[in-house]
Amino acid sequence: MAEGSAAPTAADVELLLGAAAEAGAIAMRYFGASMRSWMKPGQSPVTQADVEIDEFLRETLLAARPDYGWLSEETAAADQRLGREIMFVVDPLDGTRGFLAGDRRWCLSLAIVAGGRPGAAVLHCPALERTFSATAGGGARLNGRPIDNPPSDQVRRVTGSRRINAEIAERLPGRVEVLDFVPSLAYRLALVASGEIDGAFARPGAHDWDVAAADLILTEAGGCLLTLAGQPVRYTASGHRMPSLLAAGPGRRAAMFALARDGGFLQ
């Protein structure tokens, strides 16, 4: 947290958990059902579920914390609550394409950011019955239990975008196991936090709401989310597009950067 910024509290995490559970129930009513969907500028899909979840979360969270700011994927262009000292940063449905296709690997991403860094986070994956949470300095949890991801200097299993996965397989055959593409970037990062994969890559273009919650969960689990220049991500309350990102589990930072270098991703 930046000096002078009030830090999110354990009560904030409980607020996020409760709101995420109710919003997840809304999502599950739509999952696998017929619904209206359309394309936003930039050819990103949005559905009735995205909009209804966003409205619910905005009303619920701001009613509980009226002094907090608000930034979400569905209201980024119009919101007037930007620039507050503490802000909710929300993606009501991360992995919308997968959601529409019936893939269960989507989630609701809720973070509270203060001083440019997330201080409280919940990543709720209702179709998978998995909920990740974290507070700055308080550790990360999966379904209420502390995440135990032992440090290692080995990278054996990775994933990224479809394009990156194909490039790793082509340029570094046999070096690592490349897992299938995960449609939710937030969940991809959470899998690094839990130790189910060792590292992950993200192409340029992610927004604050895509990664803020997962960033804190990964960091509190002992890992890191960095730019390819080795810098932590800063959250600016603008939803700006980010550069390429690299996620590494505990102890695996050097091995992931070596993989990125040898695969030509640092150029």
Domain ranges of the chain: 10-146, 157-262
**Virtual CA dihedral for 238, 243, 248, 253, nearest 10 degrees?**
-120
* pTM, entire model: 0.92
Asked whether the CA dihedral 191, 196, 199, 204 is positive or negative, the reply is: negative
**Nearest in space to 8 (alpha carbons), one of 79, 91, 64:** 64
Show Cβ contacts of residue 264 under 8 Å, excluding neighbours closer than 6 positions. 167, 171
SS3 track for 40-63: ECCCEEEEHHHHHHHHHHHHHHHH
What CATH number was assigned to the domain covering residues 10-146? 3.30.540.10
pLDDT at 251: 98
Show Cβ contacts of residue 68 under 8 Å, excluding neighbours closer than 6 positions. 61, 62, 81, 84, 86, 87, 88, 112
Q: Tokens 């999952």 label which residue?
A: 31
**Separation of alpha carbons 119 and 157, rounded Å:** 28
| DSSP per position, 138-204 | TEEEETTEE------S---EEE--HHHHHHHHHHSTTTSEEPPP-S-HHHHHHHHHHTSSSEEEE-T
pLDDT at 121: 98
pLDDT at 32: 78
pLDDT at 3: 40
- Cα–Cα distances in Å, from 57 out to 26, 72, 196, 218? 11, 10, 29, 23
Report whether 183 contacts 159 (CB < 8 A).
no
User: pLDDT means per 10 residues in the chain (267 residues)?
Assistant: 58 97 96 70 73 95 94 68 82 92 96 94 98 96 97 96 94 95 96 98 93 98 96 81 95 97 82
pLDDT at 83: 67
**Nearest in space to 111 (alpha carbons), one of 141, 67, 70, 147:** 70
pLDDT at 25: 97
Q: What is the 8-class DSSP label of residue 225?
A: E
The token pair that represents 34 in the structure block: 């017929």
SS3 track for 71-137: EECCCCCCCCCCCCCEEEEEEEEECHHHHHHCCCCCEEEEEEEECCEEEEEEEEECCCCEEEEEECC
For the domain made up of 157-262, give the CATH fold.
D-Maltodextrin-Binding Protein; domain 2 (3.40.190)
